[in-house]
């Protein structure tokens, strides 16, 4: 699939209901931070995978972003520990046309997750993606919503966009102790910030 012509996967219908199953679980080793000093602002160009993410307003400074695919049942894979952020590789790379999707836990194994404060971002806050090619793309958040997992708006979150956008996704709402999952998802929507 060409990332410059983003198309929704049919399996995305299954993703909405089970996206980012946050909650207590065995902890895996953490990723190491990467050096951000070599990143320089650059216009969005050919596909370059995301390396790290900063959201200054809520103190997010990720380590190396990992790849997330789909499980055998068609659900989005989730990061293996509280402090890891993942990029859904079925979505465009940040800076390419369409909605790039990054996901992280709100908490995991009683440890605050990388997106623990995602619900606290506001319109106008920035999400800065440092890419593997050394370039940086900046997105401006324009909306934050909470959805019941049973009514996740798959088309709205994953649907085509005319320009590069970013979706940041985690869990939220009440924690269901029986299922060991949160009942809702938090989604922050952001648009690429023009240079200059």
- Give 13-27 pLDDT, tens digit per residue: 334 434 444 543 322
Measure the CA–CA gap between 176 and 196, rounded to whole angstroms.
46
Q: Examine residue 21 and state whether it is found in any structural domain, yes or no.
A: no
Q: Is the pLDDT of residue 43 over 80?
A: no
Residues 99-156: tens digit of each pLDDT? 999 999 999 988 999 999 999 999 999 999 999 999 999 999 999 999 998 899 999 9
Q: Examine residue 69 and state whether it is found in any structural domain, yes or no.
A: yes
Cross-strand pairs, 176: 181
Q: Examine residue 88 and state whether it is found in any structural domain, yes or no.
A: yes
Cβ proximity of 123 and 158 under 8 Å: no
Q: Examine residue 33 and state whether it is found in any structural domain, yes or no.
A: no
Residues 143-193: tens digit of each pLDDT? 999 999 889 999 999 999 999 999 999 999 988 888 888 889 999 999 999
Query: In angstroms, how far apart are the furthest CA atoms of the chain?
Result: 51
Query: pLDDT confidence of 31, banded at 50, 70, 90?
Result: very low
Domain harbouring 161, CATH code: 2.40.260.10
Q: Examine residue 41 and state whether it is found in any structural domain, yes or no.
A: no
Q: Please state whether 154 falls in left (phi above 0), alpha (psi between -120 and 50) or beta.
A: alpha
Q: What is the mean pLDDT of the chain?
A: 81
Q: Examine residue 104 and state whether it is found in any structural domain, yes or no.
A: yes
Q: Examine residue 6 and state whether it is found in any structural domain, yes or no.
A: no
User: Domain containing 61: what range?
Assistant: 48-192
Report the domain count for the chain. 1
Q: Examine residue 8 and state whether it is found in any structural domain, yes or no.
A: no
Q: Is the pLDDT of residue 38 over 60?
A: no
Measure the CA–CA gap between 51 and 86, rounded to whole angstroms.
10
Rg of the chain on CA atoms, in Å:
15
């Amino acid at each position: 699939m060409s990332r410059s012509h983003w198309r929704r996967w049919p399996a995305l219908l299954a993703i909405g209901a089970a996206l980012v199953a946050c909650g207590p679980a065995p902890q895996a080793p953490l990723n190491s931070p990467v050096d951000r000093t070599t990143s320089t602002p650059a216009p969005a160009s050919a596909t370059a995978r995301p390396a790290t993410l900063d959201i200054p307003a809520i103190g997010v400074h990720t380590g190396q972003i990992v790849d997330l695919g789909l499980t055998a049942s068609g659900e989005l894979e989730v990061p293996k520990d509280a402090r890891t952020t993942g990029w859904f590789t079925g979505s465009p790379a940040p800076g390419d046309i369409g909605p790039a999707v990054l996901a992280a836990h709100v908490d995991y194994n009683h440890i605050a997750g990388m997106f623990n404060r995602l619900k606290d971002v506001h319109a106008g806050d920035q999400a800065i993606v440092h890419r593997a090619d050394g370039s940086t793309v900046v997105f401006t958040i324009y909306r934050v919503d909470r959805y019941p997992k049973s009514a996740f708006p798959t088309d709205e979150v994953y649907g085509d966009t005319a320009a590069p956008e970013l979706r940041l996704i985690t869990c939220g709402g009440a924690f269901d102790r029986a299922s060991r999952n949160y009942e809702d998802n938090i989604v922050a929507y952001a648009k690429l910030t023009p240079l200059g």
